[in-house]
């Protein structure tokens, strides 16, 4: 077992964890726990997020909602829902994720099962410290088309192409959005009131689509 703690996150890493044990931990700890799991072929990372981790997650979520609202796009927010597929021996609980292109396929469902249902179209992952598991490998194995990854300083957009993530400059789900613009607003969130930030972001979106 390995435990790492920083201002942003505390991580516990367990090795040689079977899929059955992983599923039992998910079942026994329930959905209301404060930690998040990432499982990669026998390696289980348990991450407890702290303020430096959670605040940007909230800003990203608000940006996504504003974009969807202003662009007239229906979405389903799946939050930190456990995404897992037994056949891949991988599972993860993103900071937040969304059904956008596949929203009609999920609308009305009360449970999500990636053995039959499509994966989210966009996931957002915040890693203030280096993760001990290959999260890009987990997300690619689950088939998540688009991934935004933020380390507290730098934001990167990834697009899944032929099973591999390729860094890209613009969002697939929201083509008007560039990584540089979202980075600028996330940076502003560190020194700007949240309501003022949201108003500024909404004004920017409206300007882009007018």
- pLDDT tens sequence across 135-168: 999 999 999 999 999 998 999 999 999 999 999 9
Query: To 10 degrees, the CA torsion angle through 102, 72, 149, 133?
Result: -20
Q: How many Å apart are CA 135 and CA 44, to the nearest integer?
A: 11
Write down the pLDDT at residue 10. Answer: 79
Q: Which fold has domain 51-209?
A: tt1808, chain A (3.90.1570)
Write down the pLDDT at residue 6. Answer: 46
Confidence of residue 202 (pLDDT cuts 50, 70, 90): very high
């Amino acid at each position: 077992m390995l435990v790492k703690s920083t201002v942003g996150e505390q991580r516990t890493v367990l090795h040689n964890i079977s899929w059955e044990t992983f599923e039992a931990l998910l079942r026994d700890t329930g959905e209301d726990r404060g930690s998040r799991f990432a499982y990669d072929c026998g390696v289980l990372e348990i991450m407890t997020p702290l303020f430096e981790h959670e605040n940007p997650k909230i800003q990203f979520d608000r940006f996504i909602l504003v974009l969807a609202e202003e662009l007239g796009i229906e979405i389903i927010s799946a939050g930190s829902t456990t995404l897992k597929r037994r056949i891949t021996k991988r599972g993860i609980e993103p900071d937040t994720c969304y059904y956008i292109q596949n929203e009609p396929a999920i609308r009305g469902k009360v449970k999500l099962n990636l053995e039959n249902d499509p994966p989210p179209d966009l996931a957002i992952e915040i890693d203030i410290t280096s993760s001990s598991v290959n999260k890009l490998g987990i997300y690619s194995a689950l088939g998540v088309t688009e991934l935004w990854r933020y380390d507290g300083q730098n934001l990167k957009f990834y697009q899944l192409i032929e099973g591999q993530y390729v860094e890209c400059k613009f969002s697939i789900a929201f083509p008007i959005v560039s990584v540089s613009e979202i980075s600028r607003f996330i940076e502003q969130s560190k020194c700007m009131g949240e309501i003022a930030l949201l108003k500024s972001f909404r004004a920017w979106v409206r300007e882009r689509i007018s």
